[in-house]
Amino acid sequence: MAVVAERAFTSRSTLQRVEAGDTNVGIGIYAAVLQALGLLEGLGQIADIVNDPVGQALASAGLPKHAHLKRTAGVPRDG
């Protein structure tokens, strides 16, 4: 534990808070701990919307049902 805390540039008590899932610990500390453990590559997957079906559903629900394009003056209509 002391080695990981040292490599993550944090204290052992903060590392214990990370292990406990304390939400008051900054994301930078979590990233530093992941780096110290050689797991930083996985951080990008956490925020990837491809891995978040609930987030996809919420984002889709907020989209408008129909899109209307505004025409600018002087642009001829096709057809």
The answer as to whether 76 is a domain residue is: no
Task: Please say if the pLDDT value at position 76 is more than 90.
Answer: no
pLDDT value at residue 79: 54
Give the largest Cα separation in the chain, rounded.
73
Count of structural domains, the chain: 1
Find the domain containing 57 and state its range: 2-61
pLDDT band for position 4 (cuts 50, 70, 90): very high
What is the average pLDDT score of the chain?
Answer: 86
What is the per-residue pLDDT across 35-65, written as a single tens digit (0 to 9) for each?
A: 999 998 877 887 788 888 988 888 888 878 7
Tokens standing for residue 74: 């002087």
The answer as to whether 74 is a domain residue is: no
The answer as to whether 67 is a domain residue is: no
What is the model's pTM? 0.58
Please tell me the distance from the alpha carbon of residue 27 to that of residue 31, in angstroms, as a whole number: 6
Number of Cα atoms under 13 Å in the Cβ half of residue 42: 9
